[in-house]
Amino acid sequence: MHNEFTAIIEKDEDWYIAYCAEVPGANGQGKTKEECLQNLGEAVDLILADNERTL
């Protein structure tokens, strides 16, 4: 299954911080935008997988 979600990315001094409003609790951080988005994607995947198990 392929889903698309919105990533909101902010820069806080040396770190990038991102969250996904469509998936409560999904957030990521990293020293680069790419690392931040990868961490956010992993968080989204984990939350969606957990939600599937609890249904």
Flag whether 42 is in a domain: yes
**Confidence band, pLDDT 50/70/90 cuts, at residue 26:** very high
**Is 6 contained in some domain?**
no
The tens digit of pLDDT for each residue in 30-48 reads 999 999 999 999 999 999 9
Residue 47 lies in a domain: yes
Count of CB atoms situated within 10 Å of the CB of 13: 4
Query: Would you say residue 7 lies in a domain?
Result: no
Indicate whether 8 belongs to any domain. no
Q: What is the DSSP string of 25-42?
A: T-EEEESSHHHHHHHHHH
* Edge-to-edge strands, sheet with 15-19: 8-12, 15-19, 27-30
In a domain, 43, yes or no: yes
Q: How many domains does the chain have?
A: 1
Assess whether pLDDT exceeds 70 at residue 1.
Answer: no
